[in-house]
Amino acid sequence: MAQIPDGWPDKVRLKREAQAQALTAVADEDHRELDLSVTAIDDITTLVGRIASGELSSEHVTKAYIHNLTEILFRDALVRARELDDYRTEHGTIVGPLHGVPITLKDQFNTRGYDTTLGYVSRVFKPATEDAILVDMLKSLGAVMIAKTNLPQSIMWCETENPLWGLTTNPLCREYTPGGSTGGEAALLNLHGSLLGWGTDIGGSIRIPSHMMGLYGLKPSSSRLPYHGVPVSTEGQEHVPSSVGPLARSLPSLTLVMKELIRMEPWERDARCAPIPWRDGIFQSFISKPLKIGLLTDDGVVRPHPPVMRVLLSLVEKLQTAGHEIVEWNADLHAEIIQVMDEFYTADGGEDIRRDILLGGEPFIPHVEALVNRGQPISVYDYWQLNRRKVALQQAYLRKWSDIKSPTTGKQVDVVLMPAMPHPAVPHRSCRWVGYTKIWNVLDYSALVVPAGRVMPIDSKQSWHHTPRNVQDEWNASLWTENKEKMIELGLPIGIQIVGRRLEEEKVLAIGAVVDRLLRQSSEVRY
């Protein structure tokens, strides 16, 4: 490789040229005989079954997905797909439950031979020397890694923009954001450019783009899946650990990949993982019994837009009709927990992020600049006190969960049902409030987003006149007032969030399946 220049614009130019060359190399191949309809298959088990029977080849599927992508792992992906086809031909079977499944990764997962940038210019042309543990496990299950996708500078934002790759736009409207920080994955999945995506979540970064793009997205508790080999801004902090999790167009696909990864005992590979096997008994029990569901419609800080409320309450009616009990939840402790998280974000005075950006020499995107300049670094003693507040709030929320009981049975709720965001996708640089998601990162609870509806003409008739509670609420209100006609025209997706307590992934996925089954009976949620 030629000498790498010092200036950040030249580094960006070279990186984009390398991307273009990788694209051109594959684009020159003849794709005229490809059946691109395979990208319409949303379910992993269905696709793998067709590969296992010989109806499809892994190479054919990989090429079909490459046809829709704009990233740079294609050559290695085709080599891997051919190896998988050779294995099936020789042995008459498949290597695992993800045999030939095209998978994409947020540009945060180490993949041997490729950069992991986190949206920083300073990290280009520094390829990883080994795969992240999760990537290695996915490959052993038969997956084919075809691309890495965009994320915001530093990852610390709920939209997707950086000076290296630029702005990621919403496939439904280029003036709107797909969310973030796993926005590249969400946009690609919406376009059927991948079958399964992997992201990280430290404040809503899987759930927010899943909500905005009509996808399923799971934030497990942070110790359920291996994180080793996944660099992150503020790496080394453990006060609010980030989680890795999947995004997909099919809920059974999320359940399958979680089950198969946990069956591989990730705690034998990553010291951070909890030694908890897949508990199928829990999953099966919650799929087949009446549920007790806590309902939180409003976090008390920012009111949800009319379509968010309508979709949520419509689902509540379906659940009650199906025999499930709805228990009123409340937002007690939410504001205090969010305040603690905001203080954690700036405990180092922005030094970690500032160092990476200054090392590359690129400009700050406005949101990141505001974040690093928000506060001064705190002392070790003050940091200890902040952790004491966090632990006290975690304990208080555990008591709250135990104390809120069904008025008919006297039992605790199984999960909490609530909005994922107070609004659908919005124009670029308009996201400001993520309190509906990031509270669960502080508590380290399991949380799932399920697509539940879309913005519709009826929403414009709903009353939307109230005194703003605060600046954030006023801003959110103006987003609906000024953009509702466009949001209705686009029919923007609306997701709902299902939350269980810590390490309750099986329960959350099972109840997600119950909810999804009820929702699929409505044409509103078909994308």
Q: In 10 A of CB 125, how many CB atoms?
A: 13
Among all residues, which ones are annotated catalytic? 106, 181, 205
The amino acid occupying position 114 is: Y
| Residue among 107, 25, 34, 113 nearest 74 (CA) | 25
* CA distance to 89, 286, 324, 489, per residue, from 411 (Å): 54, 15, 13, 43
The three-class DSSP label of residue 472 is: helix
Sheet-wide strand order for 216-219: 144-149, 102-106, 196-201, 243-248, 216-219, 447-454, 493-499, 415-419, 292-295, 325-328
- The secondary structure of the chain in percent helix, strand, coil, rounded to multiples of 5, reads 45, 10, 45
Report DSSP state, residue 364: P
Report DSSP state, residue 269: T
DSSP E strand stretches across 42-201? 102-106, 144-149, 161-162, 166-167, 196-201
Task: Give Cα 119 distance to the centre of its chain.
Answer: 17
Q: Are 425 and 179 in contact (CB under 8 A)?
A: yes
Q: Are 219 and 440 in contact (CB under 8 A)?
A: yes
Cα–Cα distance for residue pair 154/411, rounded to 1 Å: 43
CB-based burial, 303-337: b 16+ in 10 Å, e otherwise: bbbbbbbbbbebbbebbeeeebbbbebebebbeeb
| Residue among 39, 182, 157 nearest 106 (CA) | 182
